[in-house]
Amino acid sequence: MPHIIETQPDRTDLPLVVMPTVFDAMIEPFRTNLPMLHDIARVRMYTDRTSDEETLLARTADADAVMVIGFHIPDAMLNRFCGFDGGTGHVRCFAFGGTGVASYINMTKTRERDVRVCNIVHYGDHAVAEHTFALILELAREVGRLDAEVKAGDWTGAEGYALHGKTLGLVGFGGIGQTVARIANGFGMHVAAWNSHVDPTVANALGVELIDDMGDLMERSDIVSLHLPLLESTAGIVTATQLNRMRPGTLFVNTARAEIIEPGALTARLLRGDIRAALDVYEREPLPMDDPLRTVPGIILTPHVAWRNDEAYVSLTKQVVQSVASFFTGGDFNVAN
């Protein structure tokens, strides 16, 4: 049986907030922040990991709000959570522990059902930026492969790819993109960014060149890195036409969301075999064993972990709890829909 952490269990006059699953490393940061809900809501937190829909639904059967940590909510599951289509739940608020919530829950349907969805902001700018550069460096210097070869007795080595002097093209220039730019400056790289609602003052301060056309940016860059949030306006915004303008030898990194790319376009581009890529996000997660991305030569794949580090967890957990407290006290903190 999973361990359950509860607060104010006798206060049945208060609404119930359920966290049906959680990452181990988040348990203590959440426990630290739960006092913010004192006299506002009861909390029931399950401390194990599960993605089984029936288990998640059973654990939240009497919940008024759900903290969503690391699981997707398909439409049928959403209806059962909220008492539609024969469902018995009565959830009226989902507090999502991340950004890009549109890839986890149908925002149109939550609006139609008057169900609040909250996400969090700027909690992992440094975490994602650092992972972005971990992927860039792995593509450039192949440390993981070389480590395995040396341990196997192979001293052949490999030729490195210099970052100094190369052009890094950023598609997306919010908190994460700006942090990536600062790191790139330390490597002596030239940084350019797609000019979509970018504050030129910020770009100038970081020495970043703004380019109006995304395709031009991709064609001129040695390394392309995506940092757009997933919104209704950004879904599929990176098209096959733009990806096809990347020159042979370009390095491509995505730590944002797969859904900002036209469906199937990235796989088709990578299977041409003339660019190398490192990905942390996918159209289907977990990545199926038969996904053609697994067959791309030299590709680096990580399991959607760019956002996960100790610093990010502190901000993430606080914002999730604040979102729930705001919902029950009539506020609008971090409302996503």
Active site residues: 257, 285, 304
Cα separation values, 14 from 45, 116, 188, 263, 325, Å: 16, 18, 56, 44, 12
Are 209 and 189 in contact, with CB atoms under 8 Å apart?
Answer: no
Distance CA 70, CA 51 (A): 8
Q: Which residues contact 249 (CB under 8 A, 6 or more apart)?
A: 222, 274, 275
Alpha carbons within 13 angstroms on the beta-carbon side of residue 217 total 26
Pairing status of strand 42-46 against strand 4-7: antiparallel
**DSSP secondary structure, 72-98, as one string:** ---HHHHHHHHT-TT------EEEESS
Angle between helices 125-141 and 175-186 (to 10 degrees): 40
User: How buried is 330 (Cβ within 10 angstroms: 0-12 exposed, 13-18 middle, 19+ buried)?
Assistant: exposed
Cα–Cα distance between 1 and 194 in angstroms, integer? Answer: 50
Pairing of strands 276-279, 300-301: parallel
User: What is the rounded CA–CA span in Å between residue 139 and residue 162?
Assistant: 11
Please tell me the distance from the alpha carbon of residue 70 to that of residue 26, in angstroms, as a whole number: 11
Q: Which two tokens stand for residue 14?
A: 């208060």
> ω before 286 within 30° of 0 (cis)?
yes
